[in-house]
Amino acid sequence: MSNTIKRITRELAETSLPEYNYCSVTPRENNLFHLDAKLYPPITSPYYGNVYTLELKIPEEYPFKPPHVRFVTAIENEYVHPNTGYICLDVLDKGWVPSLSIGDLLGRICGILY
């Protein structure tokens, strides 16, 4: 098993811990490099009460390159492209560091829902 697969497996397990109550993540068709995530905005968010589905594509170079992430659920947000659902956050590009996890990334994405 490659180090990338081990890391993704560990990070997916971590997202089931209580501190990640704002999201859930599952592999699409048992493919660890193609994930479906759900975001549950907090009660203080104007998006509260909605559930947002995201698609994450994990590159082979993970964690040295960030996942490609987009909203599948339509959302009106200044950081989300209205047609593609792609998210404009530094952490998804030059701001990515290998110490970030999938759960950390989803937390930052959830942060744009305030």
What is the tens place of the pLDDT at every residue in 44-66?
A: 999 999 999 999 999 999 999 99
The residues spanned by each domain of the chain are 3-113
Q: Which of 65, 66, 68, 7 is nearest to 32 (CA)?
A: 7
Confidence band, pLDDT 50/70/90 cuts, at residue 1: low
What integer pLDDT is reported at residue 114 of this predicted model?
87
CA distance 60 to 76: 31
48, 54, 63, 107 from 45: Cα distances, Å: 5, 18, 30, 13
Closest CA to 40 of 73, 63, 9: 73
Instruction: Kindly report, residue by residue over 72-102, the tens digit of the pLDDT.
Output: 999 999 999 999 999 999 999 999 999 999 9
- Looking at residue 48, its pLDDT comes to 95
Mean pLDDT of the chain: 95
Active site members: 88
- Cβ proximity of 106 and 37 under 8 Å: yes
Q: Which residue has the higher pLDDT, 35 or 19?
A: 35
For 3-113, give the CATH class. Answer: alpha beta
Q: Are strands 23-28 and 68-71 parallel, antiparallel or unpaired?
A: unpaired
Q: How large a percentage of the chain has pLDDT more than 70?
A: 99
Is the confidence at residue 34, as pLDDT, over 70?
Answer: yes
CA separation for the pair 7, 113 (Å, rounded): 27
- Our CA angle for 105, 110, 114, nearest 5°, is 145
